[in-house]
């Protein structure tokens, strides 16, 4: 990763006022995790509280589930030479008054994604995780379920996935085709690009 770009992102405070006004009242803490030449690009949502505290993306139950979906262990997942993680917002957006995660501020992807994507370069496999990533990178699609269900129609090398949050356990039960059809194809593709 260009140190200059990483340093500029880590120094970003564009959302300071927005975060100060949340129920968590926290300061920005951009979690930056990508490098040029990665084989897999994960475009995700935003850090949760545990990621905010650990400075490690997907360092939570969502990460455990995502690694299981991909069929890789922590060592492979956290190898920045092979896996780049680009959230829709680099900082934890905070909780609302009901304790629900706030959405990623759109200003983050608008401000930083073009430079980050240029830095990462072409990747053979791109995972779009959750509705925010779908809407930005698969515009015009209908909702998460139909977007994920249409996985065979996406550009080669792109998988659209639901968010691996444990809040989506009900979705996974209602859509068993995801586990029986999508995950075997995803795991095969992940294994292929990591061994090519
Ligand atoms: S979420 Fe993005 S734009 Fe907002 S402060 Fe963090 S790095 Fe900056």
In this predicted model, what pLDDT tens digit does every residue of 124-137 receive, in sequence order?
999 999 999 999 99
Residue 97 has a pLDDT of 84
Q: Quick check: CB of 1 below 6 Å from ligand 1? A: no
Q: Has residue 91 got a pLDDT over 90? A: yes
Q: Which atom of ligand 1 is nearest to the CA of 93?
A: 1
Class of domain 3-195: alpha beta
Q: Quick check: CB of 32 below 6 Å from ligand 1? A: no
The per-residue pLDDT for range 101-129, each reduced to its tens digit, is 899 999 999 999 999 999 999 999 999 99
Q: What is the mean pLDDT of residues 81-102?
A: 94
How far, in Å, is the centroid of ligand 1 from the Cα of 30?
6
Q: Tell me the average pLDDT of the chain.
A: 95
Query: Which DSSP string corresponds to the chain?
Result: --HHHHHHHHT--TTHHHHHTSSS-PPP----B--TT-SEEEEE----HHHHHHT-TT-SHHHHHHHHHHT--HHHHT-TTTEEEEESSSS---B-TTSPBPPPPHHHHHHHHHHHHHHH---SEEEEESHHHHHHHSTT--THHHHHHTGGGSPTTEEEE----GGGHHHHHH-THIIIIIHHHHHHHHHHHHH-
The domain locations on the chain are: 3-195
DSSP 95: B
Q: Has residue 73 got a pLDDT over 80? A: yes
Q: How confident is the model at residue 142 (pLDDT cuts 50, 70, 90)?
A: confident
Residue 139 has a pLDDT of 79
How far, in Å, is the centroid of ligand 1 from the Cα of 105?
8
């Amino acid at each position: 990763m260009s140190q200059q770009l990483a340093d500029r992102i880590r120094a970003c405070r564009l959302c300071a006022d927005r975060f100060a006004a949340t129920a968590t009242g926290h300061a920005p803490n951009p979690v930056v995790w990508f490098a040029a030449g990665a084989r897999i690009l994960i475009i995700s949502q935003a850090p949760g509280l545990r990621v905010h505290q650990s400075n490690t993306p997907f360092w939570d139950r969502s990460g455990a589930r995502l690694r299981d979906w991909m069929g890789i262990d922590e060592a492979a997942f956290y190898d920045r030479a092979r896996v780049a993680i680009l959230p829709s917002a680099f900082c934890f957006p905070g909780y609302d008054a009901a304790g629900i995660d706030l959405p990623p501020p759109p200003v983050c992807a608008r401000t930083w994604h073009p430079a980050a994507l240029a830095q990462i370069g072409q990747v053979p496999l791109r995972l779009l995780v959750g509705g925010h990533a779908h809407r930005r990178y698969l515009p015009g699609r209908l909702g998460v379920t139909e977007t994920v269900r249409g996985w065979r129609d996406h550009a080669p090398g792109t998988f659209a996935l639901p968010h691996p949050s444990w809040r989506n356990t009900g979705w996974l039960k209602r859509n068993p085709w995801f586990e029986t059809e999508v995950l075997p194809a995803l795991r095969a593709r992940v294994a292929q690009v990591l061994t090519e």
